[in-house]
Homo-oligomer: A and B are copies of this chain.
Amino acid sequence: MGKAEDTRQSIIEGAAVIFNKNGYQRTSMSMLSHSLGLTKGAIYGHFTDKDALAVEAFRHSISQVSRRVSESLTPHGSVLDKLHAFARTFVYFFEDTVREGGCPILNTAVDADDAHPLLHGEVRRVLTAWEGRLIAMVNAGKESGEIRPDTDSELFATTFIALVEGGILLAKTIGDRKYMERSVEGIDLLIKQMAVRRD
């Protein structure tokens, strides 16, 4: 990477945490400039406006989560094990998530909901992609004979995502990771239910 590209990337990474902690609406270019130790002009040299930077920062936050999930899945061969590991990622990285200001999907969905169509569209895209990834995993499990053919993969995907997001909300708000652990335990039960019994 060249120096300009380095600077651009470091602005995105720094802004991601600032946006996630303070909310996209409340974060001003002055705050970003102050926190990043750059002039506003330097930031505008890389991004046309706050919205453009907000979208890049959100994408960066999501790519971090995706990377963690992918790393958790790698050691596992079976679809069922991969699904358990997928859910478990959110327990494993719970403290990091809190330190970084909470789940970027949850924060951005609430913060950008009625006021920020570009960012709202990004959150919708990410949620739909997450849903699609889970549905594809369940369908792969049906094909490999691991998952019962009568499993409702859409129902599973929705409950999986809702339990992760609701679990983060509860655990972060009440300040106790046991709510995250219990939510993931709920997902584990759902996965066990759709498994083809080997006994």
Contacts and interface: CB of A to CB of B under 8 A. Distances in A.
Interface of A: 21-23, 25-26, 101-102, 106-107, 109-111, 113-115, 120, 123-124, 127-128, 154-155, 158-159, 161-167, 169-170, 172-175, 179, 182-183, 185-186, 190
A182 to B, nearest CB: 4
Contact of A166 (B115, B161, B190): B161
A173 B23 contact: no
A183 B167 contact: no
B158 A109 contact: no
Closest 8 CB pairs between A and B? A162-B166, A166-B166, A159-B186, A158-B182, A110-B110, A165-B166, A109-B173, A162-B183
A176 B190 CA distance: 23
Given A110-B111, A175-B124, A170 B161 contact: yes
A65 to B, nearest CB: 16
Contacts of A159: 163, 182-183, 186
A88 B141 CA distance: 31
A25 B158 CA distance: 30
Given A120-B173, A163-B163, 20 more contacts: A23-B23, A23-B111, A25-B26, A101-B114, A102-B110, A109-B173, A110-B110, A113-B173, A124-B174, A127-B170, A128-B174, A154-B182, A155-B182, A158-B170, A158-B183, A159-B163, A159-B182, A159-B186, A162-B167, A162-B179
A185 B156 CA distance: 10
A137 to B, nearest CB: 17
A186 B162 contact: yes
A172 B114 CA distance: 10
A164 to B, nearest CB: 7
Contacts of A25: 23, 25-26
